[in-house]
A and B are shown apart, each in its own frame.
Chain A
């Protein structure tokens, strides 16, 4: 039952991922990306990481996809043909190399772990309390550094997106 549910969700995630790279319209790509992110949130909750599931919906599905859609709105969604300026064989080289990469990854992963499920974690191990406690005690320094990084990103975004007034104009 659980396995069937997983297979269903995995199929939706793969449809979303393929839709992102196959759509001709950037808006469709962003919406397929949203589908992918929401399915991942369900996966996190299935894996006992409730807080991460909520964060995934808020940050990725909420903030990042909306940011993408805003930029698409500003610069236009029609982005022309999928392969412009790329030679035809280069595309197939990319496909074949990714297929080989995937084959190596899957072959490596298939024998890396025992097939049984250890279920070592308590069901509420990823709760807000547990993860918050870890973040604010053991991992306080990385947490604060992440806030510094967010501040730097904010300043960078404002500086880059600002409209420069050139001196020749005045």
Chain B
């Protein structure tokens, strides 16, 4: 068996990579992918700790997170499509309609 700490550290590393991607990439699609990756690493943490403490609540929570992630990606990609239709760009630096 693998110690739970290893899973937690791996999840932390992948979360950091995802956050780094959100910070350095300027493409809205890639940023979405990184957000999904971060959600996934948190799911891994929840499942690992559910196994550590012998508790099923963590796995139920992951289900809800998966549902939220699916909704988030559907709405988010629809927004990206709408922006591309209006402005023909996916660069988040150029999407500044609300900037005064």
Contacts and interface: CB of A to CB of B under 8 A. Distances in A.
Contacts, number: 241
Given A33-B36, A47-B47, A101 B59 contact: no
- Secondary structure of the A side of the interface? helix
A146 B67 contact: yes
A34 to B, nearest CB: 10
- Secondary structure of the B side of the interface? helix
Interface residues of A, number: 86
Contact of B2 (A13, A40, A46, A75): A46
A106 B29 contact: no
24 contacts: A21-B18, A21-B20, A44-B44, A44-B47, A47-B7, A49-B47, A59-B66, A64-B36, A64-B73, A67-B77, A101-B19, A106-B13, A109-B8, A109-B9, A112-B8, A117-B2, A117-B3, A130-B56, A135-B63, A147-B67, A157-B75, A157-B78, A161-B82, A163-B85
A168 interface: no
